[in-house]
């Protein structure tokens, strides 16, 4: 009899779509095994009227799922990598990362062709301190309207809240087949994505048999990029409470790392790109962490 592996996930459309992607890849790589989905409601799924920074941060989308993984109720968990805190629950590890979708942010608007057209007083919806700080750096005088909810809800609120536009992760929009609503993919020199954005992570128990199943589905370059981003995030302690963007891109012969850091008032303290050669990841992580930590102290 085939063993059935239980895969835990949130119940949103995007979370379920991402879980479908993971299970399809696992089935192809492991035809002698079965995989089943178990939906787990997280605290973050029950509170939609407050910013994440005020109710505990991104860990609210994974806490209950990690508890189920530790207890053995599920065998692995599917997350948006950017939702995972830098420090995982004891005994858990990221076992694999699926090939990365576009990590950049997307601007959606029925009134403008790009963020460059936004003017003083324009109303832009986002629940992210990172996006708020960076869009206000690029276009002064923007009025930020707090916005949470699933992708469909936020797109709908663009009309009901009389917004000039909203900013969402491009990856989620594309995975849901909603590419047509994207007005502009925002370049990283304007808006640096969150650490892990665009990446689906599969979390497992340390030294568990599930690790062997994930070998064929892990995308090595994506895994390395996310590892760089998360190492820097862990070093500086950045989460939903800090406007922090970290994006690593590994190309043939080089690693480019974009950084953006703001303070609690939303002012940008640093917005720049570093580079290194493959093999110098730890040096790059140390350099970036030191730069960010100095600005944390100044901020």
Angle, CA of 3, 7 and 13, to the nearest 5°: 140
Sheet harboring 92-97: ordered strands across?
33-39, 3-9, 76-80, 200-205, 92-97
Whose tokens are 């996310």? That residue is: 226
DSSP 87-120: SPPTTEEEEEEPPPPP-SEEEE-SS-SSGGG--T
Query: How distant, in Å, are the alpha carbons of 37, 76, 196, 203, 208 from that of 65?
Result: 12, 9, 18, 10, 17
Are 298 and 287 in contact by the 8 Å Cβ rule? The answer is no
45 is catalytic: no
Annotated catalytic residue: which of 32, 73, 75, 83?
83
Torsion of CA 156, 159, 165, 167, to 10 degrees: -20
Burial-class residue 138 by CB neighbours within 10 Å (0-12, 13-18, 19+). Answer: middle
Query: How distant, in Å, are the alpha carbons of 65, 222, 291 from that of 272?
Result: 35, 21, 10
Sheet harboring 184-185: ordered strands across?
143-145, 123-125, 165-169, 105-108, 184-185
How many Å apart are CA 118 and CA 36, to the nearest integer? 45
> Which H or E element spans position 246?
strand 244-251
- Residues annotated as part of the active site: 83
């Amino acid at each position: 009899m085939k063993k059935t592996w239980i895969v835990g996930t949130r119940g949103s459309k995007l979370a379920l779509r991402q879980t479908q992607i993971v299970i399809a890849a696992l089935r192809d790589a492991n035809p002698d095994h079965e995989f089943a989905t178990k939906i787990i409601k997280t605290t973050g799924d029950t509170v939609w009227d407050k910013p994440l920074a005020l109710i505990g941060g991104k860990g609210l989308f994974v806490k209950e799922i990690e508890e189920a993984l530790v207890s053995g109720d599920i065998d692995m968990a599917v997350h948006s990598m950017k939702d995972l805190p830098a420090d995982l629950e004891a005994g858990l590890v990221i076992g694999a990362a699926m090939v990365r979708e576009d990590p950049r942010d997307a601007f959606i608007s029925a009134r403008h062709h790009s963020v460059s057209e936004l003017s003083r007083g324009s109303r832009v919806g986002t629940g992210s301190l990172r996006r708020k700080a960076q869009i206000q750096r690029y276009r002064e005088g923007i009025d930020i309207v707090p916005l949470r909810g699933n992708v469909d809800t936020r797109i709908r609120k663009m009309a009901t809240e009389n917004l000039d536009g909203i900013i969402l992760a491009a990856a989620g929009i594309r995975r849901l087949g909603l590419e047509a609503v994207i007005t502009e993919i925002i370049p990283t020199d304007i808006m640096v994505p969150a650490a892990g954005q665009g990446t689906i992570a599969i979390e497992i128990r340390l030294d568990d048999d599930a690790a062997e199943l994930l070998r064929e589905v892990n995308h090595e370059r994506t895994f390395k990029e996310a590892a760089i981003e998360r190492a820097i995030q862990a070093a500086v302690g950045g989460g939903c409470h800090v406007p922090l963007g970290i994006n690593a891109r590994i190309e043939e012969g080089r690693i480019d790392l974009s950084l953006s850091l703001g303070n609690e008032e939303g002012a940008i303290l640093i917005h720049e790109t570093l580079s290194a050669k493959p093999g110098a990841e730890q040096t790059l992580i140390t350099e970036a962490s030191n730069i960010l930590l100095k600005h944390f102290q100044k901020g």
